[in-house]
Chains A and B, each alone.
Chain A
């Protein structure tokens, strides 16, 4: 299956700075989801944004969705060392049960 693209592939910032990750996809979607994966672990759901929504917040997370550009961004504000992980976007397309994952962004927060 085709996967979306995320950029950057890797991001390293200082603690306290903001981190922005971008995701692009190819098909029409019902929603777009962001997940976090700590090394060697499963995925943890962060936030889901529906196709008719443009922005969503959850704590220090802010997600935007632009369906005309088929793109989304995840912003983590005031980053912490514990935010170090890989972040994946995944699209839930109309008529399909399955998620299609992006390539992921490996985020490193330096203390």
Chain B
């Protein structure tokens, strides 16, 4: 069964809307979750590392005020795209890693396709 649940799977909304995406770890506690963005026919680009109980670590070039991350519990991280614009349209994917992460794979959600009109 699924290890990671990501919701919603598809969002279409108007420009200026804020959109929240949830990522839940179903099988284990995850102190760390990862948020990626993927454009069509491209690879995954890490946006930020979400840390339970502390601030997220953002990759260079990712606006932290634009992409708000909250990791309030060991099983839930949320990504909010604030005041979304058409250029924010993309496929957003989260992943989790078990505690004691060395030499363990990440488990990915099914992604959220965000379309901003």
Contact = CB atoms under 8 A, between A and B. Distances in A.
Interface of A: 1, 3, 30-31, 33, 35, 40-45, 48, 50, 88, 92, 97-104, 106
A65 B104 CA distance: 17
Nearest to A46: B105
A41 B102 CA distance: 26
B44 A101 contact: yes
B54 to A, nearest CB: 13
A30 B91 CA distance: 28
23 contacts: A30-B103, A31-B103, A40-B113, A41-B110, A41-B111, A42-B4, A42-B6, A42-B109, A42-B111, A43-B44, A43-B93, A44-B108, A45-B108, A48-B103, A48-B104, A50-B103, A88-B43, A88-B44, A99-B34, A99-B106, A100-B46, A104-B42, A104-B43
Contacts of A99: 34, 46, 106
B107 interface: yes
Contact size class for B? Answer: 20 to 34
A42 B43 contact: no
A103 B44 CA distance: 8
Contacts of B110: 41-42
Nearest to A106: B41
Given A97-B97, A98-B34, A106-B41, A43 B103 contact: no
